[in-house]
Amino acid sequence: MSKNKAMLGFEHPLCDRIQLVMVILFFVSWVLDSLSRFISGYSTVILEAISFPSLLLGTIVFLCLGSYLVSKAHKAVINGRGQPKLVDSGVYAVVRHPMYLGILLFCLSFLFISFSLLSTGIWIVFFILYDRMATYEEGSLIRILGNEYVAYQKRVAKWFPKLR
């Protein structure tokens, strides 16, 4: 690893593998669960209690929001390469981990259209793993950026935007 890359902070050592495994596990379970319910005609109480247009709207909102967060976060990080500096504008002014949150919201959008108990459980585990990876990465950023990052942590929520 180059000296400059090390200065920018460290991802969790298993970050890419965890993300890949969790996304595959989530979608495989979601497809299998959805297909089995479609074939058997079984439906959950949640799907029967909420109208299809409402479920579709939730799907679209979370899909768009997740895609937006990932896109804007990726652009901010890629454009900010170089000397280590705190990115605290744009989506990073709303939450500290918009890329992770975007991926979680993207997956969550699929639960709206076809609720799967198994996929919901996997999504919760996915969130817990992302939280741990984010905490690990924040430790690296504190070592690099010091009090500037600590102040950022106090100002900006880790996952859920603060209401002002």
pLDDT tens digit string along 3-57? Answer: 444 455 678 888 888 889 988 998 888 888 777 766 766 655 566 677 778 888 9
Could you tell me if residue 164 is inside a domain?
no
Residue 122 lies in a domain: yes
The domain total for the chain is 1
Q: Are 161 and 95 in contact (CB under 8 A)?
A: yes
pTM over 0.85: no
Asked if the structure places residue 7 within a domain, the reply is: no
Domain-located, residue 35: yes
pLDDT of 4 reads: 42
* Domain range enclosing 143: 15-81+100-155
Q: Is residue 3 part of a domain?
A: no
DSSP sequence for the chain: --HHHHHT----TTHHHHHHHHHHHHHHHHHHHHHHHHHHT---HHHHHS-HHHHHHHHHHHHHHHHHHHHHHHHHHHHT-SS-----SGGGGTBS-HHHHHHHHHHHHHHHHS--HHHHHHHHHHHHHHHHHHHHHHHHHHHHHTHHHHHHHHHSBSSSPPP-
